[in-house]
Chain A
């Protein structure tokens, strides 16, 4: 089966600009996660979707970050306006509806804010 797809792979923007990331999950995977991975740290959950509903967005900086998952498939994560501390890799992960529990990760988008 095809894996989790993300685009773009790399993005460089200036602070105060906006940026959007896209994630296409594994077919049939109902749960989708966005993680932020700052250099030297483990991934930190930003938001979790179950189909097209938000399950957990407690760690999402809602003043500048937004995410949506229209039709319960693809998802986009947006940052507006970006800050220097947003420089990180943004990872999308999905989980199937069975009891496998493990999450499948995409390759990530590396964001550099200058």
Chain B
């Protein structure tokens, strides 16, 4: 069965410092991986995805993520955090392949708090 783990409920960083939000996944085949961000009282907003190719993917608002197949991880990173990055972040996975319905499996979310 597919699953996603986000081991940290909350990550605290100071503005200007680099940030990392961790994600590990489990699928039986090749994964498609996603990061979404959720601001209060808003829906989920797509940040970036890994489908195939370069393991380092770049997304919106300066975020990037590195796909590591051997460690089954897809950590979200940003070189310099902003206070406005404070939000709830979700990692999600779906299994590649034509038989897959496209259903996303989400982690439980990590709250990012960036302090001035």
Interface set of A (CB-CB < 8 Å, partner B): 4, 6, 31, 33, 40-45, 48, 55-56, 91, 93, 95, 101-108, 110
Cα separation A8 to B60 with both chains bound (whole Å) = 29
Number of chain B residues close to chain A: CB under 8 A: 23
Task: Pick 25 A–B contacts, CB within 8 A, sort by A.
Answer: A4-B43, A6-B43, A40-B108, A42-B4, A42-B107, A42-B109, A43-B90, A43-B104, A43-B106, A45-B103, A48-B101, A48-B103, A91-B44, A93-B43, A95-B102, A101-B32, A101-B49, A102-B34, A102-B46, A103-B104, A104-B46, A105-B36, A107-B42, A107-B43, A108-B43
Q: How many A-B residue pairs have CB under 8 A?
A: 58
- Say yes or no: is B45 at the interface (Cβ < 8 Å to chain A): yes
Pick the contact of A31 from B4, B102, B108, B109 — CB < 8 Å? B102
| Chain B, Cβ-Cβ closest to A10 | B41
- Say yes or no: is B51 at the interface (Cβ < 8 Å to chain A): yes
Tell me which residues across on chain B come within 8 A of A101, comparing CB atoms.
32, 34, 49, 51, 94, 102
Interface set of B (CB-CB < 8 Å, partner A): 4, 32, 34, 36, 41-46, 49, 51, 90, 92, 94, 101-104, 106-109
Cα separation A44 to B44 with both chains bound (whole Å) = 13
For residue A25, give the distance in angstroms from its CB to the closest CB of chain B: 13
| Chain B, Cβ-Cβ closest to A91 | B43
Tell me which residues across on chain B come within 8 A of A106, comparing CB atoms.
43
Cα separation A44 to B90 with both chains bound (whole Å) = 12
Tell me which residues across on chain A come within 8 A of B94, comparing CB atoms.
101
| Chain A, Cβ-Cβ closest to B107 | A42
Tell me which residues across on chain B come within 8 A of A103, comparing CB atoms.
46, 104
For residue B58, give the distance in angstroms from its CB to the closest CB of chain A: 14
Cα separation A42 to B92 with both chains bound (whole Å) = 9
Pick the contact of A105 from B32, B41, B43, B102 — CB < 8 Å? B43
> Is A102's CB under 8 angstroms from B102's CB?
no
> Is A42's CB under 8 angstroms from B103's CB?
no
Given known A101-B32, A102-B34, contact A45–B104 (CB-CB < 8 A): yes
